[in-house]
Structure 1
Amino acid sequence: MRGDVGARVRLLAARDAECARFGADTHRYALRPPLPEAEIRRFEAAHGIALPPAYRAFVAEAGDGPAGPGHGLMPLTEPRAGVDDDWAVDAEWREDRQPGRLATPFALTEPLRGPLRALPESLTPGTLTLSELGCGTYDRLVLTGPHAGEIWHLDPDWAGFVPRHADFRSWYEEWLNAV
């Protein structure tokens, strides 16, 4: 998988040498090295979860971000000094890693459409932030419950919290094919 993704990301970079595509100035079409299996298992054990297969395969075979939708794919693990100096995780990323948060059951059984007047604390547990899309909007990977493996789009000001893709692969493929 890494070779195919890596080649496609390099092609995107060549087509957008000025990094004019939205978010490219942040992720710069870079792919961090894949995560070792032991590191992925440690993350899963520490958070009491099993990563959905498509996402797990991506971080194990293609890379741990940042080239990807929006301002880039957030890393599963802590950014590395000297490697990710130009790219920083945000408060959503840090909040996701609070003890027990990722293993908490995902609260929604149906999408919440339209503006959310207040973002309830119980809305995002059981999901992992994948990408920040600007203006407080995020794509999140559902980790628990009947929607596990799906990508949901969180836009509290306009769209609500709604399903976006059936799985990580289709979400990332859409980004790769968008140019």
Structure 2
Amino acid sequence: MGEVWAGVRERVLALREAPNRRAVFGAYFMESGHRFELRPVLTEEQVDAVERRRGVTFPAEYRSFLMEVGAGGAGPDYGVFTVEPPEPESESESESEPVPEAELDPGVTSASGAAASEPDRALPFRPERTAEWEEHQAAEPQWSAYGDSDEDGERFRAAYAAWDKRDDELLESLTEGALYVSEQGCAYYTLLVLTGPERGTMWQDVRAAAEGVIPFAFLGSTDRVTFAEWYVHWLTRAERLAWQAPEDRTDG
């Protein structure tokens, strides 16, 4: 993977001195933003430890990114989530147990998601679940379909409770088999698929907009995008904008 990431770390860090760097979205936001900083790279042994700890197997492009570019930091939107290797003394204990599901929320600073090197831990990524969830949403019980009696009210509440329980299950399942890698803002996230036919491709969690989980695509294209394509595309655009003198900036 050396040819994929050759010079990328240096290009990113160089943007800290670019004259128009503050114009790049996500780089500077109030007191936060990634500021074109990158975490140190991980060793192969550390990446192995992260995979064992979390019960995951990373796609090759992401794995090599961690070892050649950085374990998080500058990147698309508000940056790439940080991956923290486990402490050496905890590795032997964690080899047999994946991280509990409750710890795999988006927005944490370490890699999160679900997939596994062992079949019994694998959670398949199922993009068809978004259509299933949308159908379920359309079937939400409506009070107007029930009568006005106390018995009708009980039937409605029971039907709604069952619908709501299934809605939560479907919503949770939409991101199974995927890794949260970046936050877009407004509760939207970017995912890397770890399992199934879509493994290695980028998707968007836009459940906040009631759109489920959809493929990430470049403007004007419907082609699937890999992690390296996603990251290098951002870097190329960031360089084009950041290295302009502020007075020379043009839109488009």
What TM-score range do you get, normalising by the shorter chain? 0.7 to 0.9
Q: Let me know the Cα RMSD of the aligned residues.
A: 3.0
> Displacement of 1:152 after TM fit?
0.5
- For 1:1-179, list aligned pairs within 5 A: 1=2, 4-15=7-18, 19-25=22-28, 26-77=33-84, 91-94=105-108, 97=112, 101-103=114-116, 104-110=122-128, 112=130, 120-156=171-207, 157=209, 159-164=211-216, 165-179=224-238
Identity of aligned residues (%): 34
Rounded Cα–Cα distance in structure 2 between residues aligned with 1:4 and 1:140: 25
Distance 2:107 2:46 in 1: 18
Map of 1:83 onto structure 2: none
Is the Cα contact below 8 Å between 2:13 and 2:38 reproduced in 1? Answer: no
How far apart, CA to CA, are the structure 1 residues paired with 2:228 and 2:106?
22
Name the SS of the counterpart of 1:68 in structure 2: coil
Matched position secondary structure for 2:52:
helix
Q: Which runs of 5+ in 2 are unaligned?
A: 86-103, 117-121, 138-166, 217-223, 239-252
| CA deviations over 1:10-45 (Å, ceiling 9, x no partner) | 343333555232110111100111011111001111
Across the two proteins, how many residue pairs are aligned to each other? 166
Which structure shows the higher strand fraction?
1
CA shift for structure 1 position 106: 3.1
Matched residue SS, 2:106: helix
Contact map agreement 1:67 1:73 (CA 8 A) in 2:
yes
**TM-fit CA distance, 1:159:** 4.5
In structure 1, runs of 5+ residues without a counterpart are 79-89
TM-score, normalised to structure 1's length? Answer: 0.78
Is the alpha carbon distance of 1:97 and 1:21 closer, same or farther for their aligned partners in structure 2, counting shifts above 3 Å?
Answer: closer
The equivalent residue for 1:87 is none
Q: Distance in 1 between matches of 2:26 and 2:129?
A: 26
Instruction: Tell me the alpha carbon deviations over residues 58-94 of structure 1, each in whole angstroms, 9 at most, x when there is no partner.
Output: 101111110100110001226xxxxxxxxxxx94144
Which whole-Å CA distance do the structure 2 matches of 1:158 and 1:13 have between them? Answer: 37
Distance 1:139 1:16, change over 3 A: farther
C-alpha deviation, 1:129, in angstroms: 0.7
Give yes or no for contact 2:41–2:71 (8 Å, CA) kept in 1. Answer: yes
Larger Rg: 2
Q: Distance in 2 between matches of 1:168 and 1:111?
A: 22
The superposition leaves residues 117-151 of structure 1 with CA deviations (integer Å, 9 ceiling, x where unpaired) of 66611111211111000001011011111111111
- The answer (yes or no) to whether the contact 1:105–1:145 under 8 Å persists in 2 is no
